Amino acid sequence: MADTAQANAATTTTSAILQQVSLRQASPYDVWIESLGLPIHTGYYVEDVRTIELGWWEERQCNTAFLKLAGQEGVTEARITEIPAGATLPPVRFGLDEVVYVVEGRGLATVQGRNGRAAKTFEWQKHSLFLVPRNYTHQFSNVQGNAPARLLHYNYLPTAMAVVPDPGFYLRSPYEGPDVVSEQEVDFYSEAKVVTPSGDSDNRGMAFWVGNFFPNMRSWDQLVPFRGRGAGGHVVWIRYPSTTITNHMSVFPAQTYKKAHRHGPGVVIIIPAGEGYSVMWPEGQEKVFIPWHEGSVFVPPNRWFHQHFNVGSQPGRYLAFHAPRNMSTYSERVEDRARDQIEYPDEDPWIRETFGKELAKRGLTSLLPEIAYQEREFEWEYGQQGD
C-alpha cells in the first residue's frame, strides 16, 4: 500500500510539473525543485555551504538545500545534504551518476551489491570526493556523535530532465543496468591511479588520476604544473572509470592570481582551502566580485570571463566539477587563448590595482613578478609537483 501511494503521488507530481512546464515554458527541473518547498539558493555564489539554510525533504528523509546559481543555467545540479550526528539516512537510489564532496564531517557510505554480491562500504572524511554510480541503492551514515555532516552532491539532472521531464524516472526507477561496481578489475573504491595519455596531442603534459574515491582534496599533493594559466599553479585532473563526469583541482601560490579565462556553463567550483576572491564578467561589461574561503561555492556563467585571486598567506585551492562533455568548452582547458584567455599585459588595470588593495588590507604584497606584466609568453619555473 505504501508503494502504491508513493507511485500515485509521484504520478500526480509529474503531471503537475508537465502542466507548469507547458504553461510557463519553464525548465522541468526548476519546476520540480520549486514544488518540493525546499530552500533554493540563487545568485552568483554561496559564501559558505557549511552554514546555509536547509529544509526537510520528506522523500529522502533528510535536510537539504538546492543551489541554483546563475552559471548553472539548467545544466548541472548542486545540492547540500545534512546527516544528523550519529544518524544513518535511509537507503536511496538515483538514476544518474553523482559525485559527492564532503563539506563537513566523517562517516560511512554503503553501495549495495547486486546478484548476491556483498555491498561496498568505505569511510569518508571532510574533503573526501567520491562517485555514487547510477542505479545503485546507497546509504550514508554519520559516525560523529557530536556534530552533523554535510555533503555536496553534483550531477547532470537538469540536463537529463530537459529530455525526460519526470523526476520519478531518476529517483524511483527499478532499472539496474550493468554491474559497473563488480566489473572493474580492482575494488571499485580502491586507491586512484595515475594515467598519462599517449598519442593525443591535446593531452600532452597532462596526467589524469582515475578512480572513484579521493580521500582528501585539501591535502592532495599529486599535482602537475598548470602551464599557461599563470601564477605558477599546479593541477590534478580527475576521471572516474565508469562515468562521463570529470573534475579538476587547481592549487596556486599565496599572493598571486590566475589569468582570466572563459568557457561554457555549469562548472561548479567549491573551495577546499585558502582565502581569496574571484571576479566574473561578460565581455565589456561590469565585473562581479566574489569573496571566497573554505566552503564557498560559485559558478561562472556561460562565456563570462572569470579570474581567481589568492590574497592569503597560504596556497589556495579550488575544486571544479565540470559540465557534460557535449557542452561548449566543458572544462577549464582553453583551446583558443587569443579569444578565451586574457594575458597579464592585456588585462584591465583595475585587476592589478584591486589585487594590490586587497593584499594591503591584510598587510601583504603581490608576489607576481613584474616580467609577467611585460611578456605575454612568460612562464614560471616549475618543480616536479607541489603547491
What are the Cα distances from residue 242, in Å, to 67, 78, 97, 136, 313?
Answer: 26, 20, 9, 13, 39
- Give the pLDDT confidence score for residue 359 in this predicted structure: 98
Q: Is the pLDDT score of 24 beyond 70?
A: no
Domain stops at, among 173, 203, 228? 173
In this structure, are 227 and 83 located in the same domain?
no
Rounded CA-CA distance 273/127 in Å is 10
Domain stops at, among 173, 203, 221? 173
Q: Which one-letter DSSP state was computed for residue 92?
A: B
From the list 338, 348, 331, 335, the residue with the least C-alpha distance to 377 is 338
Q: pLDDT confidence of 54, banded at 50, 70, 90?
A: very high
Domain assignment of residue 4, yes or no: no
Domain assignment of residue 169, yes or no: yes
- Give the pLDDT confidence score for residue 26 in this predicted structure: 81
Domain assignment of residue 264, yes or no: yes
Rounded CA-CA distance 193/196 in Å is 10
- Give the pLDDT confidence score for residue 198 in this predicted structure: 59
In this structure, are 246 and 317 located in the same domain?
yes
In this structure, are 227 and 197 located in the same domain?
yes
Q: Is the pLDDT score of 178 beyond 80?
A: yes
In this structure, are 244 and 364 located in the same domain?
yes
User: Across residues 65-88, what is the average pLDDT?
Assistant: 97
User: Across residues 316-339, what is the average pLDDT?
Assistant: 73
Domain count within the chain: 2
Q: Is the pLDDT score of 113 beyond 80?
A: yes
- Give the pLDDT confidence score for residue 2 in this predicted structure: 41
Domain stops at, among 173, 204, 234? 173
pLDDT in tens, 122-173: 999 999 999 999 999 999 999 999 999 999 999 999 999 999 999 999 999 8
- Give the pLDDT confidence score for residue 332 in this predicted structure: 52
pLDDT in tens, 244-291: 999 999 999 999 999 999 999 999 999 999 999 999 999 999 999 999
Domain assignment of residue 136, yes or no: yes
In this structure, are 94 and 200 located in the same domain?
no
Show the domain range for 211.
193-373
- Give the pLDDT confidence score for residue 330 in this predicted structure: 45
User: Across residues 73-86, what is the average pLDDT?
Assistant: 97
In this structure, are 125 and 254 located in the same domain?
no
Mean pLDDT of the chain: 90
- Give the pLDDT confidence score for residue 264 in this predicted structure: 92
Domain assignment of residue 380, yes or no: no
Bridge-based pairing state of the strands 45-46 and 297-298 = antiparallel
- Give the pLDDT confidence score for residue 1 in this predicted structure: 41
In this structure, are 262 and 153 located in the same domain?
no
CATH of the domain at 340: 2.60.120.10
In this structure, are 131 and 253 located in the same domain?
no
Domain assignment of residue 40, yes or no: yes
- Give the pLDDT confidence score for residue 325 in this predicted structure: 83
In this structure, are 221 and 328 located in the same domain?
yes
In this structure, are 229 and 126 located in the same domain?
no
- Give the pLDDT confidence score for residue 186 in this predicted structure: 84
SS3 of 194, please?
strand
Range scoring the smallest mean pLDDT among 84-93, 198-207, 239-248, 276-285 = 198-207
Ordered alpha helix ranges (H), the chain: 2-24, 28-35, 157-161, 167-171, 180-183, 337-340, 349-360
Q: Is the pLDDT score of 19 beyond 60?
A: yes
Alpha-carbon dihedral 102, 133, 44, 23, rounded to 10 degrees: -140
- Give the pLDDT confidence score for residue 22 in this predicted structure: 66
Q: pLDDT confidence of 15, banded at 50, 70, 90?
A: confident
Q: What is the pTM of this model?
A: 0.92
Domain assignment of residue 8, yes or no: no
User: Across residues 335-362, what is the average pLDDT?
Assistant: 92
Q: Is the pLDDT score of 103 beyond 90?
A: yes
Domain assignment of residue 147, yes or no: yes
Please count the other Cβ atoms lying within 10 Å of the Cβ belonging to residue 386. 12
In this structure, are 198 and 81 located in the same domain?
no
